[in-house]
Amino acid sequence: MPRPHFLDPTDRGLSRLGQETLPVLYRHRLLTAGQLTQLLRPDATSTRYVRRQLEVLHDRGLVDASIRRTSRAGELLWYTTALGCEVVESGGEIAPRAYRVTEDAAASQLQEHTLAVNAMGLAFVQHARHLGDECGPLDWDPEVAHRVRDGDSRLGDEAFLVPDAVLRYIHTTGTDDGGQQRMLLTFFCEIDRATMSIARLAAKLHAYARYARYVPQPAPSRGRAKAAVGHRREAWRARYPSFPRVLLVLDGAPAGQLARRSDDLRALAAADARLQPAAVDLRAGVTTLDQLQQYGPFAPIVTPVLGDAEPTDVLLRPSSAAAAVA
């Protein structure tokens, strides 16, 4: 897979790896040297070269680091500084983001959640390389806002759906005639580190079901007839070729506890009469970060949240088909 290129090699005297590192840090907020190595130099046997490049970037004021709160060895978590963000944005090759990591944010309690989101994305990247699929270091975006109701933006969280990440993946399969079929997949990803109540996790499903059916209403205007209802389309169609699958990834607790959380979530969803109509529009499944890392997205590691509990893969299809692909 070709490596991303964002800045001229002579800009600020950065090496190619330095140029690749900046936009990845900008996009994903906090990464360890180990995660960066696996993303950008997967064949490396140590993190030494990546750490040396991070030191160069740090000397130029483009990146900074915070100590990981849970690390006794003082592991560093790297992020782009304000100057580093400006350099990336000036390149014009990556969409600017309003959110920037500050020193306080980098040291906050959100460290482990951010790292878990990136560990999930890294798992997809690593298995894509193994399978011959396409998913690269910039193929997931954290916290992308999607409006789910009309009205004043000051309504706050209830007006928007904000997945932990939106991940894109191209899956290639063989066809009966010896050719290949490419599937463009998009996932709404939620990471739960066993810190959220099951009721709150189930409430996220309501937000996704609401977004699946949300049709924006035209702004009122004088002297203009209302558009025909039949001409209005769901908001998601302007962004995605099909409605993304919802993947709930559990982490932060022993496997037995995560299995109970998965069962509780399914039970709560099954008892919620408001969610049952969503089963038509919503393909949602739950798995664990450990299973995703160990077996990959196309092993039968995903349990549908709604309907049959038979394990399947990220395509949310029967396990026999998932096992055949794996």
Q: Residues 205-222: pLDDT tens digits?
A: 989 999 999 999 876 655
pTM comes to 0.88
State which amino acid sits at residue 42.
P
**Residue 144 main-chain phi, psi, to 5 deg:** -95, 120
Confidence band, pLDDT 50/70/90 cuts, at residue 12: low
Q: How far apart are CA 173 and CA 158, in angstroms?
A: 39
- 270-304 pLDDT, tens per residue? 998 888 777 777 899 999 999 999 999 999 999 99
Task: Give the per-residue pLDDT at 161.
Answer: 94
Let me know: does 58 contact 64? Beta carbons within 8 Å: yes
- pLDDT score recorded for residue 18: 92
Question: Phi and psi for 312 in degrees, rounded to 5?
Answer: -145, -170
46/37 Cα distance (integer angstroms): 8
At residue 317, the pLDDT reads 75
Say yes or no to pLDDT of 192 above 90: yes
Rounded to an integer, the average pLDDT of 166-173 is 96
- Helices in the chain by DSSP H: which ranges? 16-28, 33-40, 48-59, 82-91, 103-106, 111-131, 198-213, 255-271, 289-295, 319-325
Task: Give the pLDDT confidence score for residue 326 in this predicted structure.
Answer: 46
Q: Across all residues in the chain, what is the average pLDDT? A: 88
Distances (CA, A) of 215 to 228, 274, 317: 12, 19, 28
Of 145, 182, 188, 185, residue with least CA distance to 165: 188
For range 99-108, the mean pLDDT: 94
How does DSSP assign 258-278, residue by residue? HHHHHHHHHHHHHH-TTTGGG
- CA atoms in the 13 A half-sphere facing the CB of 191: 25
Q: What percent of the chain stands above pLDDT 70?
A: 87
Rounded Cα distance, 295 and 195, in Å:
25
Task: Give the phi and the psi of residue 115 in degrees, each rounded to 5.
Answer: -65, -35
Q: CA dist 288 to 129, 191, 210, 235, Å?
A: 21, 9, 25, 30
Confidence check: pLDDT of 225 > 70: no
C-alpha closest to that of 97 among 36, 143, 157: 143
Tens of pLDDT, residue by residue over 226-278, are 544 556 899 999 999 999 999 999 999 999 999 999 999 999 999 988 887 77
**Which of 34-43, 301-310, 317-326 ranks highest by mean pLDDT?**
34-43
Confidence at residue 6, expressed as pLDDT on a 0 to 100 scale? 43
Q: Give me the pLDDT at residue 221, please.
A: 58
Judged by DSSP in three states, 22 sits in helix
The predicted model gives 89-113 an average pLDDT of 92
> CA–CA separation, 141 vs 25, rounded Å?
12
Q: pLDDT at residue 8 above 50?
A: no
124 touches 167 (CB < 8 A) = yes
Is the CB of residue 34 less than 8 Å from the CB of residue 20?
no
Rounded CA gap, 9 and 200, in Å? 47
pLDDT the model gives residue 164: 97
